[in-house]
Amino acid sequence: MEENISSAKAGTISPRDAAWREQLRQEKNAKERTAIPRATMPQLDPAYRITTMLAEVNQGLSEEQAVLEASRCLDCPDPGCVTGCPVGINIPGFIKNIERGDFRQAAMTLKETSALPAVCGRVCPQEKQCESKCIYNRMKKPPVAIGWLERFAADSERMSGESASPAQLASNGRKIAVVGSGPAGLSFAGEMSRRGYEITVFEALHEIGGVLKYGIPEFRLPNSVVENEIDSLRAAGVKFEADVIVGKTYSFDDLMSMGFEEMFVASGAGLPRFMGIPGENLIGVLSSNEYLTRINLMGAGREGYATPVLHGRRVAVIGGGNTAMDSVRTALRMGAEEASIIYRRSEAEMPARVEEVHHAKEEGVKFLTLHNPVEYLADENGRVRAMRLQRMELGEPDASGRRSPVPVEGAIEEVPVDLVIVSVGVSPNPLVPSAIEGLEVTRRGTIAVDDDTLQSSIPVLYAGGDIVRGGATVILAMGDGRRAAAAMDDMLSGRKN
């Protein structure tokens, strides 16, 4: 009688051999479909949007746009896009639902595999994942806008006010603790709650959402979207406790004695990395985590909020990732006259999403690629007044496969700057690993887990997201939550029998 949700494969909701999909394929031929140009995302005017912290840049596809874009999809028999998705979403399945106008079923299809489609549709690097595997690339045409369609489906579900949540099993009374309410924790909580477990998510900060709240700015991911996802988890019975640091407020043993059978640690990335160059501790040099947390989580710069923030006139952001783009675009919105990205490789190697780089350029961000800071210089008050930049050139490929930057001898210039935001990555947060005796960590300080099950050296403790990966993406973190849930459920069900 027991339905086993964990074994449900993507594609069971909207299978390719469904009659309606067969019929859709007949309606238009490939020539007609490929003749349709890729949709353009309606977006706020750059000149306007840099004046507002909260307005989302991408406005979302209209219904007509979405249906037309969905009809570009050829519904391939062996879809490459799905192989490009870290969680294996049934991409043609949800897209074809959009084409036939069943947006609710499209959302349902997404939710079969992704706990947070409205988030992923906004923050996933689609151009490196699903869209990079789209058949259109081989025809030298722009791929189907899978990310925008994902966002469209998730947003129409949210706007409709009717949740398209997959079926939920009745409570089995078994308590599981989740540490951290970021993408990995939320995805795990959703998956386990569906399977009937009683989930409590403990969050160290005073707000639920982790990096989705403190890190990603509202102009890219509105808090209301995140809140909606959290609310639907709440409605499904997931409990959230803010201001709790597992390992400190409650020890691992405390949780066990509170009746939690198992726990999933998704405490996220932590300590910001600095480069170790002279002047890095001057006033006005700070991490992107600090800058973004002050503004996104604490409301710094907004009327009535107590947290202060430094306003730079000439702002330099060091790094080429999404966090660097978020920081530099935030700086513009906070009133910077000049905001630059300083990146030691060339634009081709930048890890940021292409769309973020594109948006940043539209907004007037300067890109100083092939430059690397070597020193920050202070004014008489100990505040940063300039940086010394080393020009770089690309040499041989390094371990990451990217061509490694090499200094051009003697090519150092001094550039005036009054706010420097260092965004060169993070190290795992030591707080949880160091507080749990016997927990095996890697040399990098991440929690060591089994590659398949995400189980740690302590059998009742699973872990995923950046505390295991050391600094990755929202979608990979979510995928971890999903895999850990499936593995833990398998294990617990087996034990029960």
Stretch binding other proteins (CB under 8 A), from 129-137, 153-161, 296-304, 452-460: 296-304
275 to 287, 373, 421, 423: CA distances (angstroms): 11, 9, 12, 10
Cβ atoms of 365 and 347 within 8 Å: the answer is no
- The 3-state DSSP composition of the chain as helix, strand, coil percent (nearest 5) reads 40, 20, 45
Closer residue to other proteins (CB): 86 or 183: 183
Which is nearer to other proteins, 269 or 360 (by Cβ)? Answer: 269
Of 349, 436, 356, nearest in space to 397 by CA:
349
Residue (36 or 283) nearer to other proteins, CB: 283
| Beta carbon nearer to other proteins, 285 or 339 | 285
Instruction: Note whether 444 binds other proteins by CB under 8 A.
Output: no
In 294-443, beta strands by DSSP E = 314-318, 338-343, 366-369, 371-378, 384-397, 403-416, 419-422, 426-428
Give the distance from CA 374 to its chain's centroid. 30
The interface mask with other proteins, positions 351-390, x = CB under 8 A, is -------------------------------x--------
Residue 306 found at the interface with other proteins (CB under 8 A): yes
Q: Judged by CB under 8 A, does residue 183 bind other proteins?
A: no
| Site stretch for other proteins (CB under 8 A), options 230-238, 249-257, 395-403, 444-452 | 249-257
3-state SS class at 424: coil
Classify residue 59 as exposed, middle or buried by CB count within 10 Å of its CB (0-12, 13-18, 19+).
exposed
270 binds other proteins (CB under 8 A): yes
Rule CB under 8 A: is residue 257 a binding residue for other proteins? no
Which residues from 275-294 bind other proteins, rule CB under 8 A? 276, 280-284, 286-287, 289-290, 293-294
Instruction: Name the strand (E) or helix (H) holding 228.
Output: helix 223-235
Q: Does 429 bind other proteins (CB under 8 A)?
A: yes
Q: In what order do the strands lie in the sheet with 371-378?
A: 371-378, 384-397, 403-416
Q: Cα(42)–Cα(4) distance, rounded to whole angstroms? A: 41
Please provide the DSSP assignment of 253-287 as one string.
HHHHHTTEEEEEE---EEEE-----TTTTSBTEEE
Query: Of the two residues 213 and 483, which places its CB atom closer to other proteins in the complex?
Result: 213
Give the per-residue contact string, 215-244, with other proteins (x = CB under 8 A; - = no): ---------------------------xxx
Residue 204 near other proteins by CB under 8 A: yes
The answer to whether residue 272 forms part of the interface with other proteins (CB under 8 A) is: yes
Rg (CA), the chain: 23
Size of the site for other proteins (CB under 8 A): 41
Tell whether residue 250 is a contact of other proteins (CB under 8 A): yes
Q: Residue numbers of the site for other proteins (CB under 8 A)?
A: 204-206, 214, 242-245, 248-251, 254, 270-272, 274, 276, 280-284, 286-287, 289-290, 293-294, 298-299, 304-308, 310, 382, 429-431
